[in-house]
Chains A and B, each alone.
Chain A
Amino acid sequence: MAGRYKEGVENIPIEQIADALFPEVILTTVDDFLNWGRSWSVWYLLFATACCGIELMQFGGPRTDADRIGSVFRATPRQADLMIVAGTITYKMASRVKLLYEQMAEPKYVISMGACANCGGPFWYSYSVLRGIDKVIPVDFYIAGCPPRPEALLQGVIEVQKKIKKEKYLRAKKSEAGG
């Protein structure tokens, strides 16, 4: 298979490839076009509280390389589309999580990374740990693991992209505006 594929590529003249990649006319809907743009620039908020945060760093690091799917980290919630909650959230921290979420601009998505953010994880018995961030903010995707591998997180972000691509962004906006 691999050989044939290679052969095939070799046989196609370069102009044709360029035409296929950069056609002069594209027919699409505005929705699709916007979603295409949005889904390849999912910027995530660097919100690492505990152990899972290290895997979040590795996720942005050279091996998993989140940059190649257009995801880069942002330090401030106002520039982020995606909030990755990585790590244990205590009651003391919970109100800050809510605040950060509210500071993000619409449309916004949340990934809950790791057992702690999902449900409290190993700290189920603790007196000070919030059992699941979904008690405080809405969550789009849960990633299991303690900690999840960076690859799993990458899959999570790809799921977010898929979700974005399916959205009717403009229509939602219109109905919102129309009240």
Chain B
Amino acid sequence: MEGIENIYTYLKGKFGEGIGILDKESRDPWFEVKRENLREVATFLRDDPELGFTYLVAITGVDYSKFVDVDYKGKLCATYILYRLRDSHQLIFKVFVEKEDPVIPSVWDIWRAAEWHEREAFDLVGIKFEGHPDLRRILLPPEWEGHPLLKDYKEPEEYRTPDGYLVVKTHRPDPLRENNESDQK
């Protein structure tokens, strides 16, 4: 099956409310999947002979809190990029969650590649993937606080290892900031 609109209508016919909006304006069009239906939709996308998206390229965690005015502004989002290898068809879909309740079911057993991509999205954006076998920080040290790719992330004043072996100040002047008050001090 070719074309995002065909796939969208096909899925919409099958899952109804489980499939949300379709954004055709975007350069690479995408559609929304409701998180309650994510696992069914994902299994269907992979196993249906018409679709057959067996290859997960990436999961991008996004914080939409400072985005332009859209329905999903202020939400967290996991963007799934898929390939169908036989004709290299690409498909993007998104799952939105509220910031207060950032839980998305894990798809690690559907696409094994998701296991690490989900860990990364948890580490950087703070989305919790329910049912993930080993949801730990992956890139940052385990004692790190906060999720740096959130738009309101504040850097800590100092970094220290849990055993106190290393303590370093992280402060620095910031030439790119518009009003540079902290540097004048």
Contacts and interface: CB of A to CB of B under 8 A. Distances in A.
A binds B: yes
Contacts of B168: 91, 94, 130, 135-136
Interface residues on B, range: 10 to 19
B149 to A, nearest CB: 9
A136 B167 CA distance: 9
Given A92-B140, A95-B166, A127 B172 contact: no
A131 B155 contact: no
Contacts, number: 30
B172 A95 contact: no
Contacts of A131: 172
B153 A94 contact: no
B42 to A, nearest CB: 31
Nearest to A130: B168
Interface in B164-185: 165-166, 168-170, 172, 174, 176
Contacts of B141: 91-92
Contacts of B140: 92, 128
Contacts of A124: 172
Given A127-B153, A128-B140, A91 B165 contact: no
A91 B159 contact: yes
Nearest to B176: A125
Interface string A83-111: 00000000110110010000000000000
B166 A125 contact: no
A136 B160 CA distance: 12
A153 to B, nearest CB: 26
A94 B166 contact: yes
B52 interface: no
A127 B147 CA distance: 11
Interface in A108-134: 120, 124-125, 127-128, 130-131
Identify which of A92, A127, A128 gathers the most chain B CB atoms within 10 Å of its CB.
Answer: A127
Contacts of A92: 140-141
B20 interface: no
A127 to B, nearest CB: 5
B166 A127 contact: no
B180 to A, nearest CB: 14
Identify which of B166, B170, B176 gathers the most chain A CB atoms within 10 Å of its CB.
Answer: B166
A135 B172 CA distance: 13
Contacts of B165: 95, 98
A92 B139 CA distance: 9
A22 B153 CA distance: 68
Interface of A: 91-92, 94-95, 98, 120, 124-125, 127-128, 130-131, 135-136
16 contacts: A91-B159, A91-B170, A92-B140, A92-B141, A94-B166, A94-B168, A95-B161, A95-B165, A95-B166, A98-B165, A120-B172, A125-B174, A127-B155, A130-B168, A131-B172, A135-B168
Given A92-B140, A120-B172, A127-B148, 10 more contacts: A94-B159, A95-B161, A98-B166, A125-B174, A127-B155, A127-B170, A128-B140, A128-B148, A131-B172, A135-B169
